[in-house]
A and B are shown apart, each in its own frame.
Chain A
Amino acid sequence: MASSGEASVSMDEGLRNELSKQGVFTVKLQDLYNWGRKSSVWPLQFGLACCAIEMIATTMSRYDLARFGAEVFRPSPRQADLMIVAGTVTKKMAPQVVRLFNQMPEPKYVIAMGACAISGGPFKQGYNVLKGIDRYLPVDVHIPGCPPRPEALIEAFMTLQRKIDAQPLVGPDRPRYLDPNAPAEFPVPEYGEHDLEPSYNPEVWQPPKLVRAG
């Protein structure tokens, strides 16, 4: 059985179809592994502001995130795979959010939910609000909205599932947790005299270079 996505060792499509009719299913180890991972993503149970209310609504019976295998919100980072940053990240809160992410075991993912978590939102020009959690954490999916509707969170979750499904186990495109040289922890910012130090992690985020007319 092939463990990589290489075409050279993949099975003939006709033979696979023929076998499946007989009740024999063949699958690549990578697909089986990723199917298992994406079907049981346990989010960390924490919310920062009003987006958390929408996140809670998403898990309840009407929107029912359990259909996607993510109904188990863990109150401990040691048992969680996914961090949903739901709400405004103040500069006082940011070190704790990064520390919680560091305490989660790999493989781990981040969804930045709502205008505040992706950019600071309506508080962007305030002195006390972080202008997006992606300044310190590797965010996998951004959801705009203030707050985003539960459907948007489900869409983000499905996007994350597609991303997990496509992750190869070997090769240069393999995810962070399979690369021994990739960072497992992200530096926790310190409280400075005027601002957080550093104000962003340059390995994770760099200000985009915009071309301005005029």
Chain B
Amino acid sequence: METLEQIKSRIEAAVPGARLEVIPNDSPAKQASLLVDPTCALDVARFLRDDPQLQLDYASNVTGVDWLDTAVKEKVKVKKVVDGAEKEVEETVEKKRPGYLEAVYHLYSIALKHGPVVLRQRTENRTDKTHLASLTPVYRGAEFQEREAYDLYGLIFDGHPDLRRILMWDGFKDFPMRKDYVEPDDYEYEPTPHDDVLEKATRHYAPEVKI
């Protein structure tokens, strides 16, 4: 299979106005992924499926990721006057990165026996702008998995034929897999609590009687 960079340049040639970015992966897996803008995600997916060299006809997995607001440290080279002479000095700058949600698609080709190509879509923020493009019109098998991502992360897939909760009940308001989810406090009875469970269980302990 081609490298992700080659695929990226071919998509850019085939899909006009496609905004793509290769996200590197520093872990031992080195599995880089392709960040797609939601406005063109459906066209990109259609290209990946129909292109004769790729034929990525199978979306094996759709999942969500929750990225909280974080501070990112970056090393920036700054020109400074040190001891009367101008020098380049490395400085670490802390930048605040606002949080966002991601939907990740793993695409394989059954016909050509290769893959995966990892596709990502990113929302603008974690609160109100959580809309993404649904890839269900291209990959029929993504329907239930996108519903699951909606159910647990609150990702809203525009263009999905039937976007409802799939695991939790309809009246449920929370999104349990988000990192700031507060679970219901039913820790009244924990026989052997430890760690963070101990902390939650202690709230239910009867106040100590002092004489």
Residues of A within 8 A of B (CB): 92, 125, 127-128, 131, 191-195, 199-200, 207-210, 212
Contacts and interface: CB of A to CB of B under 8 A. Distances in A.
Given A127-B183, A128-B167, A199-B184, A207 B172 contact: no
B172 A193 contact: yes
A208 B190 CA distance: 10
Nearest to A207: B188
B96 interface: no
18 contacts: A92-B167, A125-B197, A127-B176, A127-B181, A191-B171, A192-B171, A193-B171, A193-B172, A194-B184, A195-B184, A195-B186, A199-B184, A207-B188, A207-B204, A209-B206, A210-B189, A210-B205, A212-B205
B168 A128 contact: yes
Contacts of B181: 127
B172 A191 contact: yes
In the A-B complex, the 3 residue pairs with the smallest Cβ-Cβ separation, listed nearest first, are A207-B188, A195-B184, A127-B183
Q: How large is the interface on B (under 10, 10 to 19, 20 to 34, 35 or more residues)?
A: 20 to 34
A193 B184 CA distance: 10
Contacts of A125: 197
A193 B176 CA distance: 12
Given A195-B184, A195-B186, A207-B188, A92 B204 contact: no
B173 A194 contact: yes
Nearest to B174: A194
Contacts of A193: 171-174
A199 B172 contact: no
A110 B204 CA distance: 28
A173 to B, nearest CB: 27
B119 to A, nearest CB: 29
Contacts of B206: 209
B19 to A, nearest CB: 36
Nearest to A132: B189
A191 B168 CA distance: 10
A207 B189 CA distance: 6
A63 to B, nearest CB: 30
Given A194-B173, A195-B184, A92 B168 contact: yes
Contacts of B174: 193-194
Interface string B70-107: 00000000000000000000000000000000000000
Given A92-B169, A128-B167, A192-B171, A199 B186 contact: yes
Nearest to B165: A92
Contacts of B204: 207
A188 to B, nearest CB: 13
B41 to A, nearest CB: 30
Contacts of B188: 207
Interface string B108-145: 00000000000000000000000000000000000000
Contacts of A207: 188-189, 204
Contacts of B205: 210, 212
Contacts of A199: 184, 186
B87 to A, nearest CB: 55
Contacts of B169: 92, 191
